[in-house]
Chains A and B, each alone.
Chain A
Amino acid sequence: MSTTSTIVMPGERISAIEELAKSKRVILGPGLRRQDDTVVASKAGPLRHKEPSTFWVDNYQRRYIPARGDLVLGIVRSKAGDNYRVDIGAADTASISYLAFEAATKKNRPDLNPGDLIYARVLNASADIEPELVCVNSVGKRGKLGVLAEGFFFKCTLNLGRMLLRENCPVLAALTRELPYEIAVGVNGRIWLKAHSLRETIALANAIVALEQSGCAEIDKICDNLGDFLQA
């Protein structure tokens, strides 16, 4: 991914991609749109590029738009028949079946109540029907998915969630050097955290929220602050 990026505005024609498209296939990600022969941005933000030829706009957003395969954090809202209704921050509430948990049968239902937090994968996402979640993988094992019982949970922008999940993101590694913790990042802009003590968890949460303003570049500074705070 290129680090130097240009800011594009909605409606802006991006000729660089058009040029590239003449010689090879390009993939247009979120925030970019093809209109006949031209490529036009539909969102405002820095234009990102991933080799060989993927482009997207990394815009500031808090509204999550479900996409198949995304890992999300949801809050159980209610029970509805054989489903739970789960708030994942999208325009629509998602549903998750009783049977979409590990070792769940018709008799042996999972014990979820309104207000519980679950880490789930989006199974199905379409503009016209509500998203569907699962808490198991294709072989019926839960893996890292399921109910998150303890710990702290907060909301952030989608950008921050995406940034933390990037492969080359230095943030989580740097924080690990300061203290051990568990984290679940949903691409819907929700983060769940758990450290050994409550104080550590709060410190960590504040450090991650601070990242939103400062960006990755200042991670060392934040880690220093965190270290100082925990020693104090």
Chain B
Amino acid sequence: MFMNSNLFEPGKSKPERNFVQLAVKQNQRFDGRRSNECRDVELTFGADWGTVAVSLGETKVLTHVTCDLGAPTTSRPNEGKLQLNVNLGGVAFLDEVQSTHDQRSLTLNSLLERTFRSSRCVDLESLCVAAEQHVWCIRVDINVLNHDGNLYDASTIATLAALMHFRRPDVTFADDELRIYTEKEREFIPLLFLHYPVSVTYCIFKSSGQPIVDPLLLEENAADSVIVLSFNSYQELCTLNAGGTAPTNVRTIMQCARNAATRAKSLVDFIRKALSLDEERRLQGGRLVQGLVALIGENQQKLSFRKLMGHQKQEPQDLQSEKMDVDTKAIAKPRVEEMAVEEESSKQETDAPLDSSSWLPQDEDSQKLPTPSEASASKAGKGKQNRSKSKANKKQQAKKQNNSDSEEEAKPVI
């Protein structure tokens, strides 16, 4: 029928789906990670400005930024252009038919467009040479080399890193004459950024309330819904992409958002650190990574998130483990009466600000939220498991209430 039905993606057959659902329920993942643990991110900068290879486990993306002088659009005569080009040819083997390939590339493209263009992260006005005549057109080529889940994060990290790494030549425009300087004449200029967005992906399964971060392809395909959140380093929401069939409540999304914001911040810090290391290397005149094979293969220049951020990783993990403790406590003693639950939840409410998310203003409208919590309570009667889960829900709910209006706050940003 189709040429490549063998290499048809994992996670599409029924046994796989059932198994993944079960695994998620038991808090097991295929590479031994915990549900809130990400894979290591590895960055390699190429010899040219704006060439970056990113690998997230087996997911590999190569991004290349180029620039060119061109005419601006009539609607925005004093702004440069930013063009994002996704090339999924490297993972075409996953697709059986053209339509799935198109859809995959469309989803990725729209995510990148919204994350980088609609959020206006690059200062396009600084790319204007002469209004209505000459502007810089920045073109980002995103080449997906391998797909093992979470293509979104890999491509946003790669795109951001490439844009931050990129430098354009200096140019002067006088007497209707455009002069572009070479690197020897004048130093190249990096792009100006207004903020640094990066995405974090979560998978949600019907069998479990716990969202999974940084899914594998198998998990991503078997998931009931995939949520992609783009945050910038100021922890402002840039994009929210939530689809699928799993019933996601506000609590889950807020939980994801909070973790994603911290993660995005550390990712941007990591990219910055990697960039400064790369610059050092260039200044020292060290050997640069030449060629494609060196870029994506094993090399010394590879900068790993875990290694670079080793000491900083401690902090978010503490936060997470704290959260985990809360969950396990709730599950450990499932036979507490409703009253106790209420007590606990009120207790939680008092120490809820421990989240220390200063970006979420303390809210007053805690009345708004009882609806989902009541709903979960009414579902609770089914059994131990269920009840304990609903309790965990309640706790989260209580925690969440303090932050609930941040959602409204976030909306205008979208």
Chain A interface (Cβ < 8 Å from any Cβ of B): 62-64, 75, 87, 89-93, 113, 115-117, 148-155, 188-189, 192, 198-199, 201-202, 205-206
Residue B7 interfacial (CB < 8 Å):
yes
In whole angstroms, what is the CA distance A144 to B386 when docked?
Answer: 38
Q: How many contacts A-B (CB < 8 Å)?
A: 65
Contacting A198 at CB < 8 Å: which of B14, B17, B22? Answer: B22
Could you tell me if B14 and A116 are in contact, using CB atoms closer than 8 angstroms?
A: yes
Could you tell me if A202 and B1 are in contact, using CB atoms closer than 8 angstroms?
A: no
Contacting A64 at CB < 8 Å: which of B6, B10, B12, B26? Answer: B6
20 additional A-B residue pairs with CB within 8 Å, beyond A89-B8, A116-B13, A199-B28: A62-B6, A87-B5, A87-B8, A89-B6, A93-B1, A93-B5, A113-B14, A115-B12, A115-B13, A116-B14, A117-B15, A149-B15, A150-B18, A153-B15, A154-B10, A155-B10, A198-B26, A198-B28, A199-B26, A202-B23
Bin the interface of chain B by size.
20 to 34
Can you spell out 22 A-B residue pairs with CB atoms less than 8 angstroms apart? Answer: A62-B7, A89-B5, A90-B6, A92-B1, A93-B1, A93-B5, A115-B13, A115-B14, A116-B13, A116-B14, A150-B18, A150-B19, A151-B15, A151-B19, A152-B15, A155-B7, A188-B6, A198-B19, A198-B23, A199-B28, A202-B30, A206-B31
With most chain B CB atoms within 10 A of its CB, the pick from A91, A92, A148, A149 is: A91
Residue B125 interfacial (CB < 8 Å):
no
Could you tell me if A189 and B15 are in contact, using CB atoms closer than 8 angstroms?
A: no
Whose C-beta in chain B lies nearest to the C-beta of A63? B6
In whole angstroms, what is the CA distance A149 to B18 when docked?
Answer: 10
Could you tell me if B16 and A202 are in contact, using CB atoms closer than 8 angstroms?
A: no
Considering only residues 19-71 of chain B, those with a C-beta below 8 Å from chain A are 19, 22-23, 26, 28, 30-31
**Shortest beta-carbon distance, B39 to chain A, in Å?**
15
Could you tell me if B16 and A152 are in contact, using CB atoms closer than 8 angstroms?
A: yes
Could you tell me if A202 and B28 are in contact, using CB atoms closer than 8 angstroms?
A: yes
In whole angstroms, what is the CA distance A76 to B357 when docked?
Answer: 49
In whole angstroms, what is the CA distance A148 to B10 when docked?
Answer: 17
In whole angstroms, what is the CA distance A94 to B30 when docked?
Answer: 30
